[in-house]
Structure 1
Amino acid sequence: MCADIHRPKQPDLVRARLLAAGAALLAQGDAVSIGKVAALADVTKGAVQHHFATRDALVQAIYDDLLARFERQLADCTTARSPAGRYVQATLALATDPAPAALWRALLAASAAEHRVAQRWSAWVASDRAKEGSNANKLIARLAADGLWLSETLGTYSLSDAERASLARALRTLADDEEDTNR
């Protein structure tokens, strides 16, 4: 960035660029540092530190941003009857839309590299699961949706559209099943 150019202050825009830059680094498997985020967002290190005092604060803000996006997707899942159904529907959407998929690669990388992010995600999942009680089918659907999303993210399986659609139907059926198979 050129130091002698005056740019108007746009704190919300700068913050959004910083979060996007940090998420992009994570999605690419790069380490997040104040300097790398500043360079990618085309701002000074001081600008990053103005918004996020520490690297950890930046990483936690990236997580908060990703979680807020995911929760908006959950809210948009109006055809599902249960929290597990909404989770499956939103997770399946992540696997097919490249833009959110890149952001969720960032969450995966952050969860693997940042213990605190992994703890916060685990707490969120536990809270979401608690909304519906214990049901083996719903848990199987959640775990399978996570596995399908991970497979799509990593390119593990090459699924046809028909296979993906069939899996999605099966997972939605399990997730919205009201019968408790633990009896």
Structure 2
Amino acid sequence: MLKGVHRPKRPELVKALLLEAGAELLVSGAQLSIGAVADLAGVTKGAVQHHFPTREALVLALYEHLAEEFQAAVADDGTGASAAWRYARPVLDPPSGESSDHGKALLAACVIERGVTSRWAEWVRKDRAQDGQDTNKLLARLAADGLWLSDVLGVYDLSPTEREALAQAIHRLAEGA
């Protein structure tokens, strides 16, 4: 009698692979489906559905993962920086190893799943409330959003000098200088 092969179960690793595969599909513009994620991650459809019962659940989990990364990057670090500057800083100086692919995946998730857009907007409104009604801080956030979108879509090819000048201008707005 043959004994079955027992593979160790590593649910967190599988979940990470699935999120990575989902992000890759979103970035590439390919169709995001349970089957496509399973194929790209090298697992069965059942494995995907174990972690994410529906495509919508996968998109929401992907959003949560990407949003957590961004929210950690903009958390109050005790330096006294305004919320507007903490919000803009990761756009101007992305954390090491982070590519615009994270932004593309986040943008695509917002486009294909309305609930993601609502969650993102809710978080931004809460974060912005820390700045009060300061128009310059709002302008800094909007400039950072525009620069982020430009980076994600590859719209402007900014020189390092231009990028530094924009960073300084956004910093002045965000800090009320």
> Taking structure 1 as the reference length, what is the TM-score of the superposition?
0.87
1:181 corresponds to? none
Q: Secondary structure at the match of 1:131?
A: helix
Deviation at 1:6, TM superposition (A): 4.7
Superposed CA offset, 1:10-51 (max 9, x none): 000000111111111111122211001111111100000001
1:93 pairs with 2:93? yes
The answer for unaligned runs of 5 or more in structure 2 is none
Aligned-partner Cα distance in 2 for 1:110–1:125 = 16
Deviation at 1:137, TM superposition (A): 0.4
Alpha-carbon contact 2:109-2:116 (below 8 Å) kept: yes
1:116 pairs with 2:112? no
Aligned-partner Cα distance in 2 for 1:80–1:151 = 28
Alpha-carbon contact 2:76-2:83 (below 8 Å) kept: no
The answer for unaligned runs of 5 or more in structure 1 is 179-183
Q: Secondary structure at the match of 1:138?
A: helix
Cα distance change of structure 1 residues 98 and 176 upon mapping to structure 2, 3 Å threshold: same
Aligned-partner Cα distance in 1 for 2:167–2:77 = 14
Q: Secondary structure at the match of 2:93?
A: helix
2:103 corresponds to? 104
Alpha-carbon contact 1:34-1:49 (below 8 Å) kept: yes
In structure 1, what residue type is equivalent to 2:82? S
Aligned-partner Cα distance in 2 for 1:38–1:102 = 20
Cα distance change of structure 1 residues 80 and 112 upon mapping to structure 2, 3 Å threshold: farther
Structure 1, 151-160 or 8-17: larger mean CA deviation:
151-160
1:141 pairs with 2:143? no
Alpha-carbon contact 2:34-2:55 (below 8 Å) kept: yes
Deviation at 1:77, TM superposition (A): 5.8
Cα distance change of structure 1 residues 92 and 76 upon mapping to structure 2, 3 Å threshold: farther
1:84 corresponds to? 84
Aligned-partner Cα distance in 2 for 1:155–1:144 = 16
Deviation at 1:155, TM superposition (A): 1.5
In structure 2, what residue type is equivalent to 1:158? D
Aligned-partner Cα distance in 2 for 1:141–1:77 = 19
1:165 corresponds to? 164
Alpha-carbon contact 1:84-1:141 (below 8 Å) kept: yes
Structure 1, 11-20 or 26-35: larger mean CA deviation:
26-35
In structure 1, what residue type is equivalent to 2:88? V
2:67 corresponds to? 67
Structure 1, 68-77 or 110-119: larger mean CA deviation:
68-77
1:18 corresponds to? 18
Alpha-carbon contact 1:80-1:86 (below 8 Å) kept: no
Task: Let me know the Cα RMSD of the aligned residues.
Answer: 2.0
